[in-house]
Amino acid sequence: MLVAPSFSLSLTQDYVISVIIILIASILLVVVAIFGILGSLKESQCALTTFFCLLLIIVVAEVSAGVWIHINSDSLKHQIEKAVELTVDQEYHQDESRRQLFDTFQQKLHCCGAKSAGDWIGKKQVVVSVTSRPDNYTIPMSCCREDASIEECMKATREVKPAGAVDYTVIYQDGCYNALLSIGKEYSCWILIFGIVIAVIQVLGLIFALILAFAVNRSNRYKG
């Protein structure tokens, strides 16, 4: 179950694009905050109007992003699934940093492989020890349950036959893809609440910016 190189390139491009978007959003938020502070302290209608326009753009972008994520949720799940499969199929034994990261995933999320421990069996990328027979394979020890002893873990992960049964009393049975989805579902309610709170704060910021801008404008008229 190999993943096409074009998909790997797509994941890399998506990652770079995501980082760029986050950087731009962070810079924009800093700029918006500066305009808001200056507008309030200096009672500048221009700064307050700029603050309002930039904050409105951010709110519209956030709402659009939320709608896009909801509409493309199935596609995002598919990309996550392929990314996990890519790590198991190709990157685990080719990239030390990816191996350490995925080992941590398996230990912390109590999962093994992309969909199950069977994903590790029969793959040519799986490391075979010097003493192992060529028809036997290994499962990463990070798949072992926390309460399993070293001896039990070694026995369950070494010398596994491709057609043999995996000892799920020692090895985690759930795949990491399902574990990631479970975490997403578990925290989805909190993420939604957090998003609503942020949206309310931003809308209040828009309202107060308008009120203050009108007040400054009226004050300038009286002074004129």
Looking at every residue in the chain, the average pLDDT score rounds to 80
- Confirm whether 142 is domain-assigned: no
User: Which segments of 9-121 are extended strands (E)?
Assistant: none
Whole-angstrom CA distances from 73 to 9, 50, 171 are 21, 34, 30
- Confirm whether 160 is domain-assigned: no
- Confirm whether 150 is domain-assigned: no
Query: Which one is predicted more confidently, 7 or 156?
Result: 156
Q: What's the rounded Cα separation, in Å, for the pair 59 and 52?
A: 10
- Confirm whether 79 is domain-assigned: yes
pLDDT tens readout for residues 166-205: 888 899 989 999 998 888 888 888 888 998 898 899 899 8
Check if the beta carbon of residue 80 is closer than 8 Å to that of residue 14. no
pLDDT tens readout for residues 112-141: 989 888 888 755 444 433 344 444 567 898
Find the domain containing 51 and state its range: 5-116+174-223
**Cα pseudo-dihedral 16, 18, 20, 26, rounded to 10:** -150
Check if the beta carbon of residue 205 is closer than 8 Å to that of residue 35. no
> What's 81-137 look like in SS3?
HHHHHHHHHHHCCCCHHHHHHHHHHHHHHCCCCCCCHHHHCCCCCCCCCCCCCCCCE
Query: Which one is predicted more confidently, 165 or 11?
Result: 165
Into how many domains does the chain fold? 1
- Confirm whether 125 is domain-assigned: no
- Confirm whether 136 is domain-assigned: no
- Confirm whether 60 is domain-assigned: yes
Model-level pTM?
A: 0.63
